[in-house]
A and B are shown apart, each in its own frame.
Chain A
């Protein structure tokens, strides 16, 4: 078989993404049709920047979901004679093509990029969500009560923020530190916050309906602690939920780095909102401080928080890439984009494609998230 021309490479890659295109068309058609009933999400489709951003994010979202269908080969499969082959090279046995070429270990660059999307899109949003839980749970009381609590928590947050990120990663992720179990204890602390958050959330809401409250809190505790045991301690009694130790460390360090910034944002917003009249009204009605924080202040702070959430997923993706770039944490065979860039950069000036493909993928995802955040900000400011 002959090498493919650039035109047919693009056509074949385009065809390979067919489930993504179908998914995107469906989501866009439905969303635009019902956009007046969908609130802020629907308004997104009035801004062209927001729409472009949403399309890019959606593309990677569907790529991650359908990665098994899109990827042509196993990301670890080695085919003889395909080492550093240029894009469009046929396999030696003539059964197919490496559409975007082969890497230094004769693996398919295209399939690795697609499978890498899945790795990134599982870790980045989840880590951002956890960081938000931690930041909100600590930022609300710090901003609302102020005083000593605020001074102490702000000092801690500034402490983490003053740390150069890369130094922190090196200190947390090296095998010697992992051996001592420090990342694990950190995970044990950080993973508690979502449970605390949800328990306080339900407790303050249904405080006057003890029956309902007890049911909600019991469900949260059972499911929460089950997941907690599985994720943080790898001790799930049913053996369903677990996390690879090296992924756990990466996850924890990313959450740890992100949460102080979220804390500062939440604290700043709460400082602003707590002077409003409706908060004073709530206080006069005799509502508890946690009810006011979680059910009066937090919903009114959602605009900036949603925007920051989008931006922060992008930032987390960059951080994950940084970790991979320095070869920290994730296993060297992992197809995630940072590690692939790191692997490809050694032969960058001779064979640029193995590093270039994940680099562009990462850039486009972060760009999409930034554009989406920009569109959301614009639309949420409009009313």
Chain B
């Protein structure tokens, strides 16, 4: 088991390095750097000035060296201005030459500075992640129980009318991407022209004060897409368990149907959905980006869109580190959890 986890961790780190390098490479392509120089030093500077600005700010080094600097395994660049003042990647205002650390990458906890929000990246990310965490928490609270209930109800009597209805409904929700259900929800429940006006169509106020009025629609929009998928997986697994020999034995013994479902079938039927729920996290991330943009809720997804749209290199890199981390950790947890829940599976 330990060996398995270690190997998985090794692959995970390798994947994370590859992915961050790809993002680093794509955000640091010459046209992107030129755009950065123009937005920082003035939009009308000449090509030569762009080059000198890039050289002065450490962007002229080879890509791999800069990736190493960002990571914190290569010493940060230093330079001296004409007036003898020391500049460099690790130099902050008011630092003397002795205080400047050699390394300052994400390994040292230096995430850099956001050019769009004019703030330290780690403060932005932690604040935004907190907001998204609240949203995700509510989504999970709505999504998981309702999906499991729907799946178990549909799967306990395969082919019944209840099963048909619930299955078709779950297909319908998986066929509705967030940007469609969000638009429909806003039009029906929040439109000031024709709709029911039950809820608010934006969630901006929910960042300070969550109310039923401003948070229902975003949560519902994200949850809906996942509900159908998890419910279908639960249904399939429940239907399979219900045909097992031991269920038939229980039935022949005269155990009542609710007892069979709750005491005999349920636990075995929930193994497969567990993995699916864990693997759903990366999907939620996708939904979060869409919903936060649609409802103007300034969380992690919204930040990602802002960073990507404005080529805010360091913020975008931090966002992708977080996103990749979420994906890989949930994959690991789902693998390990699967083994724990189902002792028949052996890894080696």
Contacts and interface: CB of A to CB of B under 8 A. Distances in A.
Asked if chains A and B come from one complex, the reply is yes
A176 B29 contact: yes
Contacts of A322: 177, 179, 290
A352 interface: yes
Interface string A240-278: 000000000000000000000000000000000000000
B191 A162 contact: no
A356 B183 contact: yes
Given A170-B308, A352-B183, A362-B177, 11 more contacts: A159-B18, A162-B327, A164-B320, A164-B323, A176-B31, A177-B29, A182-B29, A321-B177, A349-B190, A351-B193, A363-B176
A158 B191 CA distance: 42
Given A325-B290, A349-B186, A363 B327 contact: no
B179 A360 contact: no
Interface in A360-374: 360, 362-363, 366-367, 369-371, 374
B19 A159 contact: yes
Contact of A167 (B168, B290, B320): B320
Interface of B: 11, 14-15, 18-19, 22-23, 26-27, 29-32, 35, 168, 171-172, 174-177, 179-180, 183-184, 186-187, 190-195, 201, 282, 285-286, 289-290, 293-294, 304-305, 308-309, 311, 316, 319-320, 323-324, 327-328, 331
Contacts of B179: 321-322, 325, 338, 341, 359
Interface residues of A, number: 46
Given A162-B15, A349-B186, A355-B187, A171 B171 contact: no
Contacts of A164: 282, 285-286, 289, 304, 320, 323-324, 327
A345 B31 CA distance: 31
A133 B305 CA distance: 32
Contacts of A115: none
Nearest to B192: A349
Contacts of A177: 26, 29, 31-32
A228 to B, nearest CB: 25
Interface string A92-126: 00000000000000000000000000000000000
B183 A355 contact: yes
B290 A356 contact: no
A356 B181 CA distance: 10
Contacts of B311: 174, 176
Contacts of A180: 29-31
Contacts of A172: 26
A22 interface: no
B103 to A, nearest CB: 27
Contacts of B323: 164, 167
A318 interface: yes
A309 to B, nearest CB: 16
A104 B138 CA distance: 35
Interface string A334-347: 00001001001100
Contacts of B31: 176-177, 179-180
20 contacts: A155-B11, A155-B14, A159-B18, A162-B19, A162-B328, A162-B331, A164-B286, A164-B320, A167-B316, A170-B304, A174-B308, A322-B177, A338-B179, A348-B183, A348-B186, A349-B186, A359-B184, A370-B171, A371-B168, A371-B171
A314 interface: yes
Contacts of A374: 171
A333 B142 CA distance: 38
Nearest 5 interchain pairs by C-beta:
A170-B308, A352-B187, A367-B175, A176-B31, A366-B175
Contacts of A321: 177, 179-180
Contacts of B293: 326
Contacts of A355: 183, 187
A208 interface: no
A223 interface: no
Interface string A314-336: 10001001100110000000000
B286 A166 contact: yes
A366 B177 contact: yes
Contacts of B316: 167
Given A176-B32, A176-B311, A371-B171, A345 B193 contact: no
A49 interface: yes
A166 B289 contact: yes
B216 to A, nearest CB: 15
A221 interface: no
Nearest to A350: B193
Contacts of A348: 183, 186-187, 191, 201
A152 interface: no
A322 B14 CA distance: 29
